């Protein structure tokens, strides 16, 4: 099921997701850009295009690819970015077309084996596949109250839908000609007001599932979230923790 194929879900995603991607791009640049920049990069599962825009810092030409036309409709046009609707398992480009492929927050929705075949086909020898995720840790910097609410109320009411959370094994990557070449992990902070935090939570798949499957009305979810969260804020803006994990693989 594509949770991001729904128009209202895509609209919420475009408005509510933190723009953390430049933090990851700095790490990617240090490892993958030996000559300073990449001539051509493919961003797979680009969603509303945030991750594609971040690649402008290190790539001359970028293709942002996603299977959801609704998500792509919210991508901001740029003369150096081409957005394409296609599945990660069947990408409509020629062999060895890219020096860099990135996947941000999306690998767990792919059929991994089919995607790895495409990654090997599309990358030039020595090209890089970089997979990165940015997970909300469910923690407020100055208080444990949010963590308790998140665990005991939010995730109980809106459980996370099934996805492929199995980590890509080194042996599987090697089987498809992609050599594991290290990784990085860091924690970063995002500031939210109660309204901004609600906007972000409405982009999570557990809420999307409840709303788009008709179990709850969007406005009732938003109202419950805001009513629950406001007492947890002692200041107008609170700081929350996210964990970013990056994995580097290189085509033989």
DSSP assignment of 17-58, as one string? S---HHHHHHHHHHHH-TTS-EEEEEEET-TTTHHHHHGGGT
pLDDT of residue 167: 83
Q: Give mean pLDDT, residues 24-52.
A: 95
pLDDT of residue 4: 74
- Strands 59-66 and 38-44, bridge-based pairing: parallel
Q: What residue ranges do the domains of the chain occupy?
A: 7-251
pLDDT in tens, 51-103: 999 999 999 999 999 999 999 999 999 999 999 999 999 999 999 999 999 99
pLDDT of residue 1: 61
Model confidence, pTM:
0.94
Average confidence score pLDDT of the chain: 95
- Strands 81-85 and 59-66, bridge-based pairing: parallel
Maximum mean pLDDT: which of 158-162, 204-208, 213-217: 204-208
**In the predicted model, is pLDDT for residue 165 greater than 90?**
no
Class of domain 7-251: alpha beta
**In the predicted model, is pLDDT for residue 213 greater than 90?**
no
């Amino acid at each position: 099921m594509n949770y991001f194929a729904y128009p209202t879900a895509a609209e919420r995603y475009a408005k509510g997701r933190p723009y953390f991607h430049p933090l990851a791009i700095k790490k990617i640049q240090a490892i993958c850009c030996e000559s300073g920049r990449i001539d051509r990069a493919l961003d797979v599962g680009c969603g509303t295009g945030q991750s594609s825009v971040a690649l402008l810092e290190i790539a001359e030409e970028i293709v942002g690819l996603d299977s959801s036309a609704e998500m792509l409709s919210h991508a901001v046009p740029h003369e150096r970015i081409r957005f394409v609707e296609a599945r990660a398992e069947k990408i409509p480009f020629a062999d060895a077309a890219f020096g860099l492929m990135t996947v941000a927050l999306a690998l767990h929705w792919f059929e991994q084996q089919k995607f790895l075949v495409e990654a090997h086909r599309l990358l030039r020898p020595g090209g890089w596949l970089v997979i990165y995720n940015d997970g909300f840790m469910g923690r407020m910097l100055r208080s444990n109250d949010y963590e308790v609410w998140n665990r005991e109320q939010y995730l109980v009411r809106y459980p996370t839908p099934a996805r492929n959370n199995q980590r890509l094994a080194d042996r599987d990557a090697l089987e498809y000609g992609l050599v594991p070449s290290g990784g990085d992990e860091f924690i970063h902070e995002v500031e939210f007001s109660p309204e901004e935090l609600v906007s972000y939570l409405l982009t999570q798949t557990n809420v999307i599932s409840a709303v788009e499957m008709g179990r709850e009305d969007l406005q009732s979810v938003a109202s419950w979230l805001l009513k629950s969260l406001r007492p947890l804020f002692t200041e107008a803006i609170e700081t929350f923790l996210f964990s970013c994990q990056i994995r580097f693989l290189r085509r033989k």
